[in-house]
Structure 1
Amino acid sequence: MCASALTLSGLLVTGVIAADPAAAADPAGYQNVRINEVTSSNSDTVELYNSGSAPVSLSGWKMSDNGFSPQAFSPSAGTIAAGGFVTFDSPKGLGDADTLVLYTSGGTVVDRVDWATDEAKPAMARCGGDGTGGWVTETSATTFGFVNAPGCPSSVPAASRVRINEVTSSGADTVELYNGGTSAVSLASWRYVDGDTGHSAATISSSSPSATSIPAGGYVTFDSTIGLGDNDSVFLLDGSGDTVDSVTWATDGAKPSDQRCANGTGGFATATTATLGAANSCPGSGGGGGGGGGQLLGGGGSLTSGCTPEEPSGTGSAPSGTQPWPGGQDVTIADNVCAFTTSTGPEGRDLSGLAFDPSNPSVLWAAKNKNWLFKLVKSGGKWIPDASWSATGKQIRFAGGSGEPDSEGLTVGPNGHLYVTSERDNDDNSVPEDTIMEFDPSASGSTLTPIHQWDMTAQFPQLDTGSKDDANLGFEGVGYVPDSWLTANGWTDPLTGAAYNPANYPLHGSGLFFAGLEWDGTLHVYGLNSDGTFTTFGTVATGERSVMDVTYDAGTQRIVATCDNTCGETHTFLKVGSGGAIVPDVTYTNPTVMPVDNLEGFAIAPTSTCVAGSREAVWSDDGIYGFGSGTSSSGHALYSGTFPC
């Protein structure tokens, strides 16, 4: 029996104004502003990132090099938005081996990064999460003003897998390190320093003589000999003098402790109980430390037999010009552990396409690879199978009642029916079968067969090579787009070269279907006719390397093409351009607290659900990997966040 996870919730991290005069000038949320990238060549450019959920004023802020003499700088913007970037060129030259310190107008140290000779060329950057990742030297072009490349470099050094995992500024002022890598790391010459620039860095070995190395997946704790107070920081340096990691907290943010959530990853949050030397639980109360936007929190629950997470593969970079997630940075795990184990999927994972029901936004439909559909409803803040429809999902078949559709994407049509894509028959998975099937969800029984089925396989000969890998690169997502949007925005019909006129296609219903092809990231536009035929309206270039899900969002009046870690976890919103063609408008990445996995499903709730300017966004993890074995996210498929109304 699959054990349930503990209830999970995101923490909204804000600054707390202290009583002393210097800290009184510190803006709320200052500790969430992190140095994210820096170069010591050419313009000596610095990038800041706000990992919090609210904008932060940079008025009067200063910086210094290793001379620790604060000096004003001119940021590209006076306020840094939640999840946003600000850059500036250092008014002081930054050397080959140097230090950069960031201060509020009141003189509080916000963040600091140290580097050895040439380590900031082309740049030092946080990798594995903007604002939260470990520091490494970039091996390719810089990314100032944009999200850092997911790999930076593709193989992150073992030392950068060591993270400050928990800090307490009361009692013994203890610091906990965690090694999220696969090999032990020597700490023999590692040092640390607090936010007082008058202090010299102390060695970990002098604070804890037994802390000579940290094993893979293990912890090391030491008591600070330089004291840790309110409005303070810890900066961790390796044996070369390069900063590895850091954390900053406001008043009482590290009492009883400040913890990374989930364990070893994500941002910091104030916890109600310290867990030094063990995995973080983070049932926090807010007001935490730097990098503390939203967190993935809570206990993971045990994995049931047959529920085996799959490590993500195929990680690549985001499209050029990708923007930060425009919604909140708080994200919660939104399902029970191992919730989608079925009789046909030996691993119990593979929740893929997602779609809110436009007529009932309290319902979320989901497609699972290996021929399953789920109707999900909210219970206790989680999306769970609707027992009145089927507590274990319903199987689907191809027309005729045979075969095992490799169901990937789905959308809800104007008639309330579900339109599901399949890229192959899993009974013969080396042969492509790129189809769209129409199902009536009100049909009785535990197995559904299509009312109509449209087969587009012949249009994609490049997938028919005899390779199951090529056959697996077909239709991954599909979105229904109403004719009213296409005509109102002046879409040019590719078949006539004139303005689209739905009356020219009397059997197609009231909209077209946009199917996303994993092979090359294109959308293929179809009119699905009631007599079982279809009309092909050509292709749309998304600018994404692949497409894993497609949705039409009436709130933004855009078609959304989603790509997983193959494209840096991004969503491209498309519009009808001035020339009448459908073109990319803007691309967003996911909130930085989320794992970099095969997140194949994405859905945005209708604007009718808006509360305080936000609505729900939901992601699905095709491999239920989360942040890896032993973390609170392992075994979970769904994540919930917010998107602007």
Structure 2
Amino acid sequence: MCAAALTFSGLLVTGVLAAGPAAAADSADYQNVRINEVTSSNNDTVELFNAGSTAVSVSGWKVSDDSFSPQSFSPSSGTIPAGGFVTFDSPKGLGDSDELVLYTSGGTVVDRVGWATGKAKPAMARCGGDGTGAWVTTTTATTFGAANAPGCPASVPAASRVRINEVTSADADTVELYNGGTSAVGIGAWKYVDDDTTHSPVSLSSSSPSATSIPAGGYVTFDSALGLGDNDSLFLTDGNGTTIDSVTWATGGAKPSSERCANGTGRFRTSATATFGAANSCSGGSAGSGGDGGRLLGGGGSLTGGCAPEAPTGTGPAPAGTLVWPGGKDVTIADDVCAFTTSTGPEGRDLSGLAFDPSNPSVLWAAKNKNWLFKLVKSGGKWVADPSWSATGKQIRFLGGSGEPDSEGLTVGGNGHVYVTSERDNTKNTVPKDTIMEFDPSAPGSTLAPIHQWDMTSQFPQLDTGSKDDANLGFEGVSYVPDSWLTAGGWIDPLTGAAYDPANYPLHGSGLFFAGLEWDGTLHVYGLNSDGTFTTFGTIPTGKASVMDVTFDAGTRRIIATCDNTCGETHTLMKIDAAGAIVPDVTYTNPAVMPVDNLEGFAIAPPSACADGSREAVWTDDGVYGFGSGSSSYGHALYSGTFPC
């Protein structure tokens, strides 16, 4: 190839002439390989990450910078496994202000990152998800050969929250930027360039003169002045030449568009419908650039029995630093259409809380908002109501046999009983009634009455406003957390200021209960005593605006606080830190293939169900909306995927 000079953000660059379409040896899987971390100090080390589901050979691949032409490099392994890393030292030195371009053996540009003075020390790394996160300068030690630190840094710069969110190589070659942060970001000096290394970067303001800034939660669109091809890339830099974000696609991958799923945070996939200037629909389509989007399997059937799906509401961004789903990318629709119609809820909606039975992972308990409890078992690959318990579920009542609990969350206690939360009495839906009820699932009959009931309503006066909406923002989820985890982790009892000692609370059983408040995303910790009283251990922030479900996972030894589309469909794993406090550890999105709906319930099978390195994860769609009318998921409540053991 002939060398050519170009200007990249004011720097003189010696590169190569435009790479043509990928050579025959280039599989589309190259799109899943991303530069993930790079340093311009010591050995000028580079890390590559494979965000796809299949291994990718990097044999014959090359790199260039802003002064040397493509050079071969010696990777730590010739193949990058799915979800794996490869590192190498740059064949030529990397400068304090430089760039790195990665090519396949066929000459196709795979990825590119540039940095201004000092920005790659100790390293430039993708923050918020390996292979998908925004580029930031790390403030902690480098992590070459391993996942980037979730907090890289703890406070992500505002500019790094701006992401290329959607792009098309059809018609006007339109690009959409999205600001997932909480403050506006000036973009008047920013530039973009495609994968043709003879092209000089173009000022974003010249393509969109009015685009001087992008508001928090807002979008900016512009038409590329460079022309985008079928097999191309787009790289976005700030005014100093530091890479903000990038996307690469193969032939046909950006038609009608390529979009992030979930909006603003996930991997790119080919969309079924372009949505420039608005939230990505993430409906239909297929796996695209930046990683394997997975497949949504199963579904279908007609809406019978009065089933009336409900479109999602309240969609918001994911928390800063959110990582991509660590499990399998494929998801299966796991119930029959309109499966949960009942006498008090014939619409078939509002299936909310989920919990696996820890002693029997073939049983999944589910709560339906309008006072119903279901025991689910697998049949034909789907979760169905256990006919030996009740083929139509069992109604639950408040203590004394009255009322209609707005049952939202549930968990299985150490005694095998099912504990259910209620936000209010549906017969008086403007008045909060935040309670936890204990039910013996072996009790006979079609209606269950609680053995015990603990009422915490008085602790939440902010919910008692006379508004049914406020009353509906109480206990949305709950999880039993064993004492053994709390003591092993050195949890500090907020009531004593010393290490938690279960013996101090002789009536509470073998664990505490963590209830999630939808109002503000906090966890509230209780000891539920056998005499009907309870001990309050205080409040724990999750870092989220809301909590829809709470799960204790014995596999990861974490409490998981789940939020639906309100928080970008995310799960925050909570750990006990070195100071004995329960704090957020890491946050994951849902698999990219899933709809962005009111997915209120979440459960992970216990470690005893592990097979081939994975175990089942299940979600509930409270509105059975799926991807909307006519989609395979319309009218379905349950989705099944996998989570690492």
> TM-score higher than 0.5 here?
yes
* Partner residue, 1:295: 295
Structure with more relative contact order (C-alpha pairs < 8 Å, separation 6 or more):
1
**1:540 correspondence with 2:534:** no
8 Å CA contact 1:266–1:295 kept in 2: the answer is no
1:451 and 2:458 correspond: no
Cα deviation for residue 303 of structure 1 reads 2.1
Question: Residue 497 of structure 1 corresponds to which residue in structure 2?
Answer: 497
Q: State the shift of 1:55 in Å.
A: 5.6
Could you report, residue by residue, the CA deviation over 1:581-614 in whole angstroms, capped at 9, with x for unpaired residues?
2222222222222222221111111111111211
- Paired AA for residue 543 in structure 2: G
* Match in the other structure for 1:384: 384
Once the two structures are TM-superposed, the CA of residue 162 in structure 1 deviates from its matched residue by: 9.0
Show the counterpart of 2:318: 317
> CA separation of 1:609/1:105 partners in 2, compared to 1, >3 Å: closer, same or farther?
same
The whole-number CA distance in structure 2 between the counterparts of 1:346 and 1:34 is 48
CA distance in structure 2 between the aligned counterparts of 1:582 and 1:77, rounded to whole angstroms: 38
1:442 equivalent in structure 2: 442
Partner Cα distance (1:85, 1:409) in 2: 39
Query: What secondary structure sits across from 2:250 in the alignment?
Result: strand
Deviation at 1:28, TM superposition (A): 8.6
Secondary structure, in 3 states, of the residue corresponding to 2:296? coil
Q: Indicate conservation of the 8 Å contact 1:312/1:625, yes or no.
A: no
CA distance in 2, matches of 1:324, 1:375: 31
- Structure 1 residues 70 and 395, CA, compared in 2 at 3 Å: closer, same or farther? farther
Q: Is contact 1:315-1:568 (8 Å) kept? A: yes
- Is this contact kept in 2: 1:604–1:616, CA < 8 A? yes
Q: What do residues 66-90 of structure 1 show as CA deviations (whole Å, max 9, x unaligned)?
A: xxx868899999987756899999x
Instruction: Establish whether residue 421 from structure 1 lines up as the match of residue 421 from structure 2.
Output: yes
Q: Which amino acid aligns with 1:338?
A: C
Aligned to 1:248: 250
- Residue of structure 1 in register with 2:401 after alignment: 401
TM-score, normalised to structure 2's length?
Answer: 0.66
- 1:544 and 1:620 mapped to 2: Cα distance? 19
Please give the alpha-carbon distance, in whole angstroms, between the structure 1 residues aligned to 2:162 and 2:430.
Answer: 32
* TM-score computed with the length of structure 1 as normaliser: 0.66
**Structure 1 residues 517 and 227, CA gap change in structure 2 (3 angstroms):** closer
- 2:507 alignment partner AA: L
In the other structure, the counterpart of 2:371 is: 371
- Structure 2 CA distance, aligned partners of 1:621 and 1:376? 16
Taking only aligned residues, the RMSD between alpha carbons, in angstroms, comes to 5.4
* One-letter amino acid of the counterpart of residue 317, structure 1: A
In 2 relative to 1, CA 393–161 (structure 1 residues): closer, same or farther, beyond 3 Å? Answer: farther
Give, in whole Å, the separation in 2 of the partners of 1:437 and 1:281: 41
Shift of 1:570: 1.6
Shift of 1:342: 2.2
Deviation for aligned residue 1:246: 7.6
Alignment of 1:72-221 (within 5 A): 103-108=103-108
> How many residues of Structure 1 are paired with residues of Structure 2 in the alignment?
521
Q: 3-state SS of the aligned residue for 1:376?
A: strand
User: Does 1:603 pair with 2:603?
Assistant: yes
Distance in 2, matches of 1:550 and 1:449, equals: 23
Q: Please state how far the C-alpha of 1:107 moved relative to its aligned partner.
A: 2.3
Deviation at 1:553, TM superposition (A): 0.9
When residues 628 and 444 of structure 1 are mapped into structure 2, their CA distance, relative to the original with a 3 A threshold, is same
Moved more, 403-412 or 332-341: 332-341
Cα distance between partner residues in 1 of 2:169 and 2:387:
43
Tell me the equivalent position of 2:570.
570
What is the one-letter code of the residue matched to 1:500?
Answer: Y
Partner Cα distance (2:422, 2:62) in 1: 56
Distance 1:266 1:312 in 2: 23
- Confirm or deny: 8 A CA contact 2:474 2:517 kept in the other structure: yes
How far 1:344 sits from its partner (Å)? 2.0
Counterpart amino acid of residue 248 in structure 1: A
| Matched letter for residue 468 of structure 1 | K
Contact 2:542 2:572 in 1 (8 A): yes
**Cα 1:458–1:77, aligned 2, differ >3 Å: closer, same or farther?**
farther
Gaps of 5+ in 2: 1-20, 37-45, 114-128, 134-147, 174-193, 199-227, 235-244, 271-282
Matches within 5 A, 1:220-235: 233=231
Task: After superposition, give the CA deviation of every residue in 1:259-316 in whole Å (9 maximum; x if it has no partner).
Answer: 99x9xx99779xxxxxxxxxx999x9x9x98743411135532222332232332423
The whole-number CA distance in structure 1 between the counterparts of 2:468 and 2:53 is 43
Counterpart CA distance in 1 for 2:386 and 2:79 is: 44
Q: Is the partner of 2:473 in helix, strand or coil?
A: coil
Structure 1 residue 526 corresponds to structure 2 residue 519: no
SS in 2 for 1:571: strand
C-alpha offsets along residues 189-219 of structure 1, whole Å, 9 cap, x if unaligned?
Answer: xxxxx99999xxxxxxxxxxxxxxxxxxxxx
Name the amino acid aligned to 2:378.
Answer: K
Q: Deviations over 1:35-91 (max 9, x none)?
A: 99xxxxxxxxx99985522464667645799xxx868899999987756899999x9
Q: Which amino acid aligns with 1:324?
A: V
Q: 1:268 to 1:579 in 2, by over 3 A?
A: closer
Deviations 1:505-562 (A, max 9, x none): 1111111111111111111111111111111111112222211111111111111111
Identical counterparts, % of pairs: 75
CA distance in 2, matches of 1:352, 1:303: 20
Change beyond 3 A, Cα 1:506–1:380: same
Amino acid at match of 2:467: S
Matches within 5 A, 1:582-601: 582-601=582-601
After superposing on structure 2, the runs of 4+ consecutive aligned residues of structure 1 that deviate more than 6 Å are 46-49, 69-81, 83-89, 129-133, 144-147, 152-157, 160-165, 194-198, 243-246, 265-269
Q: How do 1:254-333 residues align onto structure 2 when only pairs under 5 Å count?
A: 291-298=291-298, 300-304=300-304, 305-319=306-320, 321-333=321-333
User: 1:273 aligns to what?
Assistant: none
* In 2, Cα distance between equivalents of 1:491 and 1:636: 40
Which residue does 2:139 correspond to in 1? none
Shift, 1:619, TM fit = 1.3
Q: One-letter code of the match for 1:387?
A: P
Tell me how far apart the structure 1 counterparts of residues 131 and 300 of structure 2 sit (CA, whole Å): 25
CA–CA separation in structure 1 for the residues paired with 2:428 and 2:517: 20
Q: Which runs of 5+ in 1 are unaligned?
A: 1-19, 37-45, 95-99, 114-128, 134-143, 166-174, 178-193, 199-225, 237-242, 270-279
Contact 2:112 2:246 in 1 (8 A): no
Structure 1 residue 323, shift from structure 2 partner: 2.2
